[in-house]
Each structure stands twice: as structure tokens, then as C-alpha cells.
Amino acid sequence: MVKIKLGGKERELVFTLNALDEYEELTGRNALMENIFKNISAKETKALLFSALKQDDPEITIQDVGKMVSVSNFEEVLTALAKAYNGDTPDSKGGEETDNEKKT
């Protein structure tokens, strides 16, 4: 899990299938078949961040998310999103195996 401080509090970026579906709904891009970080726009960044934050904070709005990001923290946000999206978590680096991994 990747955490980032936004809006005065530490928040978790969570990319579930629901988060990816939400992102696709907001942007029209295919989150599984495209490199969504290539030429990412401000609108797409906000949609991706919103989708990831909403999994941990269902009450958050896309307008809330837009207010949390500025030019001063934009690069930090993109880096955290990329890490979370690419699975840069303790579990992906030698944590517990899933049932499927144990069977192979």
C-alpha cells in the first residue's frame, strides 16, 4: 500500500478493480490495456487520484481531490500514483503469497 499526505492527512492509494473501473468511466481510457501514465493530462491525473483515494475514503469527491493537488506537489502525487498502480507495496516485494501463488 502506498500512502501520501494530502489535504492535511495521510491517505492510502488503493487500486482495486473498482478503482480502475471508476478511472475508465471518468476518462474513457482502458486502464488495463494502455500505459495510462504516458502523456497523462491534469484531468486524467485527478481522475486516477480520485479513483485510488475513493477506495479508502468513499465520501471524497473529485472536487476535493482537485483542491489537494497543485504544481508544488504534482510530481510527488504522480510518483505515488505510479508506485501504487505498479504494485510497489511490501506484499509485492516478498510479502505473503496468495493462494494462487502457493499452488504454483
DSSP track, 50-64: HHHHHTT-TT--HHH
User: In the beta sheet, which residues pair with residue 2?
Assistant: 13
Q: Which residues, other chains included, contact 20 with Cβ-Cβ below 8 Å and sequence gap of 6+? A: 31, 32, 51
At residue 6, what are phi and psi to the nearest 5 degrees?
Answer: -140, 140
Q: What is the pLDDT along the chain (104 residues), one digit of tens a residue?
A: 899 999 999 999 999 999 999 999 999 999 999 899 999 999 999 999 999 999 999 999 999 999 999 999 999 999 999 999 998 644 444 444 444 444 44
User: In the beta sheet, which residues pair with residue 3?
Assistant: 12
Q: What residue spans define the domains of the chain?
A: 2-92
Taking the model in full, what pTM does it have?
0.82
